Structure 1
Amino acid sequence: MQVKTNLPTNKEPCVLALGNFDGVHLGHRRLLEHGLRQAERLGVGLSVLIFEPHPLKVLYPERGIELLSTTQERLRYFEEIGVDTVFLIPFTREMANTSPEEFVEKILIPLGVVRVVVGFNYSFGAHGRGNPELIQSLGKQHGFGVSVLQAQMIGGRVISSSSIRKALLQGDIPLASSLLGRSPSLSGSVIHGEERGRLLGYPTANILLQEDILIPKRGVYAVWSNIDGRRVEGMMNIGMKPTFHDMYGTSIEVHFFEFTGDLYGRELTVHIGERLRDERKFNDVNELLQQLKMDTIKAETLLKAQLR
């Protein structure tokens, strides 16, 4: 898969999927799969156009945004699905002020689009004035087709990034997993922490997430990671260490059951299997250790059951 950070000067015919694709959830995958079928029918490749940073960060810098995936994760999912080219275009104030008509004429047409694929709620151009109906009209004017996919459902529920965010903030991992079409995950670099876990016999990898990534509800989770080509299971604590601190920022710590090695500085993706319990303050270290033993048994049981 090619990743291009500039718009090409030569037209190469393609089917182009448009959207933010945050999380690349099950609805996004259905849209991209539709794009792949159209591309195969037309004998061209499937391309995706996304902006970096997320437009909301430029349009409303005072607001916090909570993303489901990093740009690198989105690129990895696109490649897995079969996308040929991703145009990763800088989103600037100038881009934000581009009218829908200019967006089509100055960006889409030079890309050589023969068909565009969008979701039912796609918006584009200055002030979000562009919508699927307008891009269909502009497509007729400029000679490219447009596919608009309606809301995608699973179990009677609309699949959306906002629904997944809500589920994760409530700690509802089964719901988030069903909407994503896979287990939720967190990716970040392993940094040095207080190293208290090592002293307690439960060494942890402290994960530093990229800015603007959503952190699920505080608590303990059964998780796994692919480390050096093998699945390594463990449990993750998201919380503020109330047993040891009155005030502490939210930290993400993962204890792996069967792993010895140095992970400092490495990028790690942690897949979340299930939420085990709320975070709580313990009376002493012995009470905490007893709970950690029970958490370990529960996590191992749940993760093995999910493999069956």
Structure 2
Amino acid sequence: MQVINLTYPDFARQIPAGAITLALGFFDGVHRGHQRVIAAARENAQANGTKLAAMTFDQHPSVVFQHAAPDHVRYLTTVAQKETLMAELGVDILYILHFDAAVGAMPPQLFVDQLVVGLHATTVVAGFDYTYGPATTANMQRLSDYAQQRFDIIEVPKAIDGTEKISSTRIRTALDAGLIDEANELLGYQYETAGTVVHGEARGRTLGFPTANVAHDNNERVPGIGTYAVMVHVRDQWVLGMASVGRNITFGDDRPITVEIYLLDFTGDIYGQNLTIRWGHRMRGEIKFAGADELVAQLQQDEQVTRDYYERHAFRARPRLWSAWLADKED
């Protein structure tokens, strides 16, 4: 997949020649709803012999419109993760547009002229609620007016899970509540974060459960407080783990939230290394134990639950996107 970073207005020389089918969206999470948009665009591209392209932004529009601090907006997927997922979905070209004040101020007609027609799009595919400016004037219903018959438009309807729309907001809410199983169902793959192993209190070693204290970037959205069955990519291998997100309240009140991971069947010094964490299943919330013995007994139970979970759910090293998720549910 070709990744092209665009900065408006000086980007024309970066655009490859040839017609494209263009999928539009911010695509935070690249969830099942987004995957339907990409699938519709891919089908159109194959039918018309064009390349499949997608365009996203490098940062959320709230950074410009609401003056949010760029390093404090927490995403479901980093730009690098979006690249990986888009490649999994068969995208040929991923345009990453730098969203700044100039882009935010573009009138709808200029956006279409410069960033749709200018990319050689013969068909545009987007979700029913996609906007490219003020929602009242820059919505999917108005897109044909701005298109002026220069490209076709495919509007992808709302994707529903249960009785509600699949949305990035819904997934963020589930993650913040620790509902990783629900979030994964909506994503269509297991949620993933990345962090660096830093020094912690080393208390786990005295309990027989040495943990890696993992620091995440401010832009990463870590699941809410709880204990999780996870897979961790460390030293070029995937390892079973138990992740605790919490304050370690057994050892005192008002402690900071940390992410600590006990790696099963793994030994070695990994301080300073980068880990990728794939969050599989929430086992329980945080518990204040009477003492270390109760905590160790619970950790032993958690280890067995983790092993049992991955016995039932075969781990896949590659992201599990919607097609694979459907196949599993139908088996």
TM class by shorter-chain length?
over 0.9
Shift of 1:62: 4.3
CA RMSD of aligned residues (A): 2.1
Q: For residue 329 of structure 2, what is the aligned residue in structure 1?
A: none
1:90 is aligned to 2:98: yes
Matching residue's letter, 1:36: R
8 Å Cα contact 1:223/1:303 also seen in 2: no
**Secondary structure at 2:116's aligned position in 1?**
helix
**Secondary structure at 1:5's aligned position in 2?**
strand
Distance 1:17 1:207 in 2: 35
Q: For residue 2 of structure 1, what is the aligned residue in structure 2?
A: 2
Structure 1 pair 36–265 and aligned structure 2 pair: CA distance change class (3 A): farther
**Secondary structure at 1:133's aligned position in 2?**
coil
Aligned match for 2:273, one of 251, 266, 272: 266
Distance 1:166 1:305 in 2: 27
8 Å Cα contact 1:207/1:253 also seen in 2: yes
Matching residue's letter, 1:179: L
CA offset digits 1:46-91 (Å, max 9, x no partner): 1111111211122213486442111111111001111111111111
Q: For residue 18 of structure 1, what is the aligned residue in structure 2?
A: 24
8 Å Cα contact 1:240/1:249 also seen in 2: yes
TM-score, with structure 1 as normaliser: 0.92
Aligned match for 2:66, one of 42, 50, 60: 60
Give identity over the alignment, percent: 33
Within a 5 Å distance, the mapping from 1:68-87 to structure 2 comes to: 68-87=76-95
Q: For residue 183 of structure 1, what is the aligned residue in structure 2?
A: 190
Within a 5 Å distance, the mapping from 1:158-197 to structure 2 comes to: 158-197=165-204
TM-score, with structure 2 as normaliser: 0.86
Matching residue's letter, 1:197: G
Distance 1:45 1:264 in 2: 43
Distance 1:264 1:91 in 2: 36
CA offset digits 1:243-276 (Å, max 9, x no partner): 2232222111111111123333333221222111
**Secondary structure at 1:226's aligned position in 2?**
strand
1:36 is aligned to 2:33: no
Contiguous gaps of at least 5 residues in structure 1: none
Contiguous gaps of at least 5 residues in structure 2: 316-331
Q: For residue 290 of structure 1, what is the aligned residue in structure 2?
A: 297
**Secondary structure at 2:233's aligned position in 1?**
strand
8 Å Cα contact 1:243/1:284 also seen in 2: yes
Matching residue's letter, 2:259: I
Structure 1 pair 222–128 and aligned structure 2 pair: CA distance change class (3 A): farther
8 Å Cα contact 2:27/2:34 also seen in 1: yes
Distance 1:268 1:29 in 2: 26
